[in-house]
Structure 1
Amino acid sequence: MTKKIVVLDGNPKSSSYCQHLGDLYEIEASESFDIKRFNLSKMEFNPSLDCGYDARQELEPCLVDFRKAILWADHFVIVSPIWWGGILQN
């Protein structure tokens, strides 16, 4: 049975060193494993909980796909920029 891996490029910028690292990981790992790749910069969703906790907010299609991939995966790889010891926050 082949290991299933989800790779998340967690950089909100579309062209970055993180994207390059994710690309290289995906290329090498796909020779032996099943890979599903997600790029945060290409995912379109509302990060704000508009109704607070008063109403259910449905997930956008990309987040539904991402949740399914996480449940599918045996291994999860996050590539994210780190500056001065912390994750980038916009």
Structure 2
Amino acid sequence: TYIRHDSKDQFTGLLDKNGVEIYEGDIVKDADSGSYGAVVWSNDKHWGYLFDTRPDYGWSHPVKGFQRNYLEVTGNIHETLLEADNAKT
């Protein structure tokens, strides 16, 4: 899957299980749980993936070195939102 990143997407310095660069705003799949999340910078000062974006409910799971073997980049929140907007018209 090719994902176009623009200048507002920050590279995390991490690669997924396929060697794809992980950027802030990417949507990743956790191979262990099958869950999807968006990559965010956590208030705890680490890269994580957020499973639910509602502030009163969501939580961020830190991305650590060994966990990268279980993550796969499947999309980007910017492209997904754009596709949803285009589908409405």
How high is the TM-score relative to the length of structure 2?
Answer: 0.22
Higher CA-based Rg: 1
How high is the TM-score relative to the length of structure 1?
Answer: 0.22
Q: Which has the higher helix share?
A: 1
